[in-house]
């Protein structure tokens, strides 16, 4: 391990997000992450427990599950991960090996590195091997680099509105895919725009307050770190439309690391990348690919498995790494990431 890499990791371990989580605390979180962490939400009160414990509980599965993957960056070939196609393949293998076959997969953007047709082709080829045949996409900024996202829309956004937003219902849950990477304004962060917000308000109108809602978009719909643009300028407006619902889950990518937050009945979650990690907010001069030793890479990449239980109308989010850490899950507690 080079000193620089070691410093980066040490920095990350020292104080994640300046939230007072010290090295030991973070390692504890890492142990959770290594084996996955389930948190469920019922009546707005979050609780969490180690994934290992859940799996021992009479093998109870959700009424259905789906998997979120994110930030595959096919075409990226720099030292942080010279083979992003291989790590995406590992993610797909991991999905195919899940005890409960997911009904579908959601990809929260940055499929490609440079929006090249060959990169999308490679992604399609790898995704073909997934056991779940239905895959829902929203674009990341890397997918709209050259043509305002026209190619993305042709390939992955048939039948969608505007720059690619849409909604669908699955077994009683209402899913909404949002686009916050189009027409970005100088000096700003992610943006949904007036037209999409109007559509969203209208789209949600027909649903009763007891309908579980899942919003997914590339850039986080909560402000994580404005200096790096890790947030969405008009997300508050969007979130005002879901206030009346009893269970809202927001799934995002973009920042290549797990962050979770619960605000009232809304739980926010960001996924790991399948390609390369990024530094924790403020721990590096800028966002961007973070180099870790090759044998550590698959411990900072992963997939997110979401289980839905009809009985409790709750969604349980489980993150698992591409490489199992081997260390047993330790402790329990609330709020992974502690934000």
Partner 1 sequence: MNRKNAWIASFTASVAIGIALLVAGSTTVKANDQPAANAEVKIDNFVFGPQTITVPVGATVTWTNKDDIPHTAVSTDGVFKSKVMDTDEKFSFKFTKAGTYSYYCSVHPKMTGQVVVQ
229 contributes a contact to partner 1 by CB under 8 A? yes
Spatial separation of the C-alpha atoms in residues 279 and 62, rounded to whole Å: 33
Q: Which is nearer to partner 1, 81 or 304 (CB)?
A: 81
At its nearest, how many Å lie between partner 1 and the CB of residue 185?
6
b/e code 27-66 from CB counts within 10 Å (16+ = b): ebbbbbbbbbbbbbbeeeebebbbbbebbeeeeeebebbb
Cβ proximity to partner 1, 61 vs 194, nearer residue: 194
Q: Does 141 bind partner 1 (CB under 8 A)?
A: yes
227 binds partner 1 (CB under 8 A): yes
Q: Is residue 289 a contact point for partner 1 (CB under 8 A)?
A: yes
- The residue among 239, 247, 242 whose CA lies nearest residue 265 is 247
- Is the alpha carbon torsion for 280, 283, 287, 292 positive or negative? negative
Continuous H helices in 180-295: 194-205, 235-240
Token look-up 């056991």 returns 131
Size of interface with partner 1, in residues (CB under 8 A): 25
Of positions 25, 162, 287, 338, contacts partner 1 by CB under 8 A: 287
Task: Quote the tokens at residue 176.
Answer: 């909404």
CB of residue 266 to partner 1, shortest distance in Å: 25
Largest CA distance in the chain: 56
Q: What mask, x for binding partner 1 by CB under 8 A, covers residues 105 to 124?
A: --------xxx---------
Distance of CA 327 to the CA centre of its chain: 24
Binders in 171-190 for partner 1, by CB under 8 A:
184-189
| Nearest to partner 1 of 43, 82 (CB atom) | 82
CB closer to partner 1, 191 vs 247? 191
**Residues at the interface with partner 1 (CB under 8 A):** 76, 78, 80, 113-115, 141-142, 145-146, 184-189, 226-229, 285-289
């Amino acid at each position: 391990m080079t000193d620089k890499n070691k410093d980066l990791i040490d920095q990350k371990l020292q104080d994640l997000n300046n939230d007072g989580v010290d090295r030991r605390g973070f390692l504890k979180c890492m142990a959770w992450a290594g084996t996955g962490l389930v948190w469920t939400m019922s009546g707005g009160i979050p609780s969490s427990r180690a994934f290992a414990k859940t799996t021992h509980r009479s093998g109870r599965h959700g009424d259905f599950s789906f998997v979120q993957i994110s930030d595959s960056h096919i075409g990226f070939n720099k030292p942080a991960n010279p083979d992003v196609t291989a790590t995406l393949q590992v993610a797909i293998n991991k999905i195919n090996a899940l005890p409960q076959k997911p009904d579908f997969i959601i990809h929260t953007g940055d499929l490609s590195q440079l929006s090249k047709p060959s990169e999308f082709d490679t992604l399609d080829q790898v995704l073909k091997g997934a056991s779940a045949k239905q895959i829902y996409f929203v674009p990341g900024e890397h997918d709209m680099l050259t043509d305002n996202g026209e190619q993305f829309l042709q390939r992955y956004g048939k039948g969608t509105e505007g720059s690619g937003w849409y909604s669908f219902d699955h077994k009683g849950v209402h899913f909404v895919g949002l686009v916050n990477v189009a027409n970005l304004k100088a000096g700003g962060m992610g943006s949904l725009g007036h037209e999409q917000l109007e559509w969203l308000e209208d789209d949600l109108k027909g649903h009763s307050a007891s309908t579980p809602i899942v919003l997914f978009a590339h850039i986080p719909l909560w402000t994580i770190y404005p200096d790096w643009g890790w947030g969405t300028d008009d997300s508050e407006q969007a979130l005002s439309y879901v206030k009346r619902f009893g269970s809202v889950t927001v799934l995002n990518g973009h920042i290549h690391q797990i962050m979770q937050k619960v605000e009232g009945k809304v739980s926010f979650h960001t996924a790991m990348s399948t390609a390369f990690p990024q530094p924790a907010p403020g721990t590096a001069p800028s966002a961007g690919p973070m180099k870790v030793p090759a044998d550590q890479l698959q411990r900072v990449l992963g997939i997110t498995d979401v289980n839905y239980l009809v009985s409790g109308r709750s969604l349980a989010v489980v993150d698992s790494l591409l490489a199992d850490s081997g260390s047993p899950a330790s402790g329990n507690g609330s709020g992974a990431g502690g934000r």
